[in-house]
Amino acid sequence: MSVATQDTAISTGKITRALIYLVLLLFALFYLLPLFVMVANSLKPLDEITGGNMLALPQTWTIEPWLAAWSTAQIGVEPTGLRPYFINSILMVVPAVAISTILGAINGYILTKWRFKGDNILFGLMLFSCFIPFQIVLIPMATVLGKIGLAGSIPGLILVHVVYGVGFTTLYYRNYYAAVPSELVRAAMIDGAGFFRIFWRILLPLSGPITVVSVIWQFTNVWNDFLFGASFGGTSQPMTVALNNLVQSSTGVKEYNVHFAGAILAALPTLIVYIVAGRYFVRGLMAGSVKG
């Protein structure tokens, strides 16, 4: 290949790469436009939104909409804001994620390293639970929560999310542990290690990548859930339900700046989790995708 041909090929490659980057940039800007609108309008006085351009930057910067959404917004009757519901979500998410992740790890450990008759059938049933629509279980779940005295409470919501999430966490850990050599478990058994000792000392220390996947997945599902929170929350409603009440409770002129601020506050924890640990999520998925 002549020097001129090589130079032409290099120039063509640079142009192609530049076009690809340009297209990706346009898609990114289009995707981030709603976020820009939310942030910009949450920092504006209301009159700039109703009488101005929603795509423009604020002329007068203010954090009053954020303060109103957090602590003084009108929700129902009491001017409580989103703060107590944010606390409800934290009290619900942390135990639900922790319990479902631990149960999924133990289930994956049993289904891969302590095989028994019918284990594939059991795993299939647990996998089937991942595809059951939320709406189907509302009435049975409400009946069960009522009979055990957990209806309308945070422990009831924790139980609901643990039951619904353990199928996903079991799937993640089962696939991940299938790639861990069984010889490690057999060697530990020969040395006298028992069930939980093997789990805590061998399997769990190797589970960092898939644990990140499980935590991020469960955190996102539980935090963003609206249906279960609205159906079973009662007086212990989570953040997403409170955000809907905030928007619906506005009378007269809609306080769009407060609504935008409230929506950002509701989405902020999930956004932070993905920014901090998003790359580990992909690594964890890939770590359990290849056996051997």
pLDDT tens-digit readout, 53-92: 788 888 888 988 898 888 854 444 444 578 889 999 999 9
Q: Which of 11-15, 36-40, 256-260 has the lowest mean pLDDT?
A: 11-15
CA dist., res. 68 & res. 257, Å (int): 10
CA dist., res. 106 & res. 103, Å (int): 5
Helix axes 239-248, 208-224, angle to 10 degrees: 30
Tell me phi and psi for residue 263, to 5 degrees: -65, -40
Q: pLDDT band at 287, cuts 50/70/90?
A: low
Helices marked H in the chain: 3-42, 46-50, 64-67, 83-113, 119-129, 138-147, 154-177, 182-190, 195-198, 208-224, 227-232, 239-248, 256-287
CA dist., res. 77 & res. 72, Å (int): 12
pLDDT at 135 over 80: yes
pLDDT at 239 over 60: yes
- Long-range CB pairs of 151-155 (<8 Å, 24+ gap) are 151/232, 151/234, 152/232, 152/233, 152/234, 152/235, 152/236, 153/234, 153/236, 154/88, 154/91, 154/92, 154/236
- CA 34 to the chain's CA centroid: 20
Which comes out higher in pLDDT, residue 131 or 292?
131
pLDDT digits (tens, 9 = 90+) for 4-20: 566 566 677 788 888 99
Average pLDDT score over residue span 174-178: 89
Q: What is the pLDDT of residue 8?
A: 67
Q: pLDDT band at 190, cuts 50/70/90?
A: confident
Calculate what percentage of the chain has a pLDDT beyond 90.
Answer: 29
Q: What is the pLDDT of residue 254?
A: 77
- CA 232 to the chain's CA centroid: 20
Terminus-to-terminus CA distance in the chain, angstroms? Answer: 43
The answer to whether 203 and 106 are in contact (CB under 8 A) is no
Residue 167: C-alpha distances to residues 36, 130, 154, 176, 231 (Å)? 36, 6, 21, 14, 21
> What does the block give as tokens for 282?
């992909």
Q: What is the pLDDT of residue 209?
A: 86
Q: What is the pLDDT of residue 252?
A: 62
pLDDT digits (tens, 9 = 90+) for 144-174: 999 998 888 999 999 999 999 999 999 999 9
Give the mean pLDDT of the chain: 84
Maximum distance among all alpha carbons in the chain? 82
Tell me phi and psi for residue 192, to 5 degrees: 100, 5
Q: Which of 1-5, 179-183, 205-209, 282-286 has the lowest mean pLDDT?
A: 1-5
CA dist., res. 27 & res. 271, Å (int): 19
Q: What is the pLDDT of residue 4?
A: 58
Q: Cβ of 132: how many Cβ atoms within 10 Å?
A: 11
Q: What is the pLDDT of residue 289?
A: 52
Average pLDDT score over residue span 122-137: 85
The pTM is what?
Answer: 0.82
CA dist., res. 253 & res. 102, Å (int): 48
Calculate what percentage of the chain has a pLDDT beyond 70.
Answer: 89
Average pLDDT score over residue span 214-242: 89
Average pLDDT score over residue span 204-220: 89
Q: Which domains does the chain have, with CATH numbers?
A: 3-66 (no CATH), 83-287 (1.10.3720.10)
Dihedral-angle region of residue 252 (phi above 0 means left; psi in -120 to 50 means alpha; beta otherwise)? left
